[in-house]
Amino acid sequence: MKIFLFLIIIFTSLNLFSQKVCLTESSRLAAEKENKSRKNTFYVYWGWNRGFYTNSDIHFQGRNYDFTLTDVIAKDRQSKFDFKTYFSPTKLTIPQYNFRLGYFLNDKYSISIGADHMKYVMQNYNVVKINGYIENSNTAYDGVYENEDIELKDDFLKFEHTDGLNYENIELRRHHEFFTKKNFNISLFEGAGIGVLVPRTNTTLLAYKRYDEFHLAGYGVGIVGGFNFEFFKYFFLQTECKLGFIHMPDIRTTEFKTDKASQHFFFSQFNGLFGARFKFGGKKVKN
């Protein structure tokens, strides 16, 4: 009888111990899974872009003029690379840059807000078509125009969104794991977004004084896709391609509020970025 009771005690102890081990291992695996999950994590990144724009018609309106320029060519403006310009805290916003803060709703989807600081420079000394009129401008450009050629000389017009073509936007992205190894992960993503344009437009028009102030000018929509290369669960490099449409019906051009320009065009943007992913709170894996 004593031996029987002893065996029961041993069996019960072993059973409880094995259950405890299983529960501990299960908790550990659950914690590891939670730590590997992107759900409820944040990410932030900074980087730079190269932009391209389709030709656009630009309509200028004011007290003494109302005309449209057709098929205006524009390019971006890259800052010359040097470490101080691209990495100094006081000069970070001089180059064309991208900044974004995001949050993973679950392992697949994230929502984010960001600023795409592009630059748009109308190319002077090209010949375009002009329709409309200019009067009492104290320049040689007074007249009525009907589909006539005009050269975009400096004394007629300088038009740049160079500080900059600021696209403030919100995006929803879907993420897919592509390749996973210890301390290294490659994923791809695609998404779409919408936002507003707040350009600081540098304009010199006819005999008016140069004007250069921030102004809410319109809206934009876009799609984005790219690759994310994550290291040690926290740090990443990222490449993106973004395509979109911008419509700005209210661009300030002079010191007078009645003077404005309007335009719309498509853009493409290629971005190189670096950032980090992090989490507030949550369970930690115990070794």
91-118 per-position pLDDT tens digit:
888 899 999 999 999 999 999 999 999 9
Domain count, the chain: 2
In-domain check, residue 286: no
Residues 229 and 167 in one domain: yes
Instruction: Please check whether residue 193 is in contact with residue 167, taking contact to mean a CB–CB distance below 8 angstroms.
Output: no
Residues 273 and 217 in one domain: yes
DSSP annotation string for 184-219 = EEEEEEEEEEEEEE--EEEEEETTSPPEEEE---EE
In-domain check, residue 284: no
Instruction: Give the span between the Cα atoms of 11 and 8, in whole angstroms.
Output: 5
Q: What is the pLDDT along the chain (287 residues), one digit of tens a residue?
A: 545 454 455 545 545 444 554 444 444 444 444 456 889 999 999 999 999 999 999 999 999 999 999 999 999 999 888 888 888 888 888 899 999 999 999 999 999 999 999 999 999 999 999 999 999 999 999 999 999 999 999 999 999 999 899 999 999 999 998 888 888 999 999 999 999 999 999 999 999 999 999 999 999 999 999 999 999 889 999 999 999 999 999 999 999 999 999 999 999 999 999 999 998 765 543 43
Residues 12 and 69 in one domain: no
List of residues 6+ apart from 183 with CB closer than 8 A? 231, 232, 233
Instruction: Give the span between the Cα atoms of 249 and 56, in whole angstroms.
Output: 13
Residues 116 and 252 in one domain: yes
Residues 45 and 97 in one domain: yes
Residues 182 and 272 in one domain: yes
Domain region containing 210: 40-278
In-domain check, residue 49: yes
Residues 50 and 32 in one domain: no
Residues 76 and 105 in one domain: yes
Give this prediction's pTM. Answer: 0.83
73-92 per-position pLDDT tens digit:
999 999 888 888 888 888 88
Residues 26 and 151 in one domain: no
